[in-house]
Amino acid sequence: MNLSCNLYVDGEFEGVINSSKEVNVGKNGHIKGDVTTSRLVVQGLIEGSINAGKVEIKAAGKVAGTIESEELIIESKGIFEGNSIVKNVAATAVLAKDKKLK
C-alpha cells in the first residue's frame, strides 16, 4: 500500500505500507509486514521491519522486528523485541562535535 496521507490501523493488516505521512497503529491494530513512513505511533502490535524518521511505542504498544529510525521513543510498559538501527549516526556525531567546538 503506497500512501501520501495519514493512516490509522485499528484492525489487522498484512503487507507492506509506504507512507510519506504518519502511520498510527491503534490499540486493536496488528500489522504483519514492513512499514516505511515519516512518523510511526504504535499502540497495538507490529511484526516486521520499520523504516521511519520517528517511531513512538506507546504504553500498550509492541514491536517485534527491526526498527531503523532517527528517533525512537519507548514509553513505560511499551515493548520492543528486535534490532534498532539509528539513521544518520555520522551526521549526528558531526553536528554534536561542531556544537562543542563553538
Residue 28's domain spans which residues? 2-101
Counted domains in the chain: 1
Please provide the average confidence, as pLDDT, over all residues in the chain. Answer: 90
Nearest CA to 46 among 56, 61, 58? Answer: 61
Q: Global pTM?
A: 0.84
Candidate from 2-6, 9-13, 78-82, 96-100 with smallest mean pLDDT: 96-100
**Interstrand relation of 17-19 and 2-3 (parallel, antiparallel or unpaired):** parallel
Q: Residue 91 and residue 40: Cα distance in Å, rounded?
A: 22
Q: Residue 94 and residue 77: Cα distance in Å, rounded?
A: 33
48-88: pLDDT as tens digits: 999 999 999 999 999 999 999 999 999 999 999 999 999 87
Q: How do the residues of the chain divide into helix, strand and coil, expressed in percent and rounded to 5?
A: 15, 60, 30
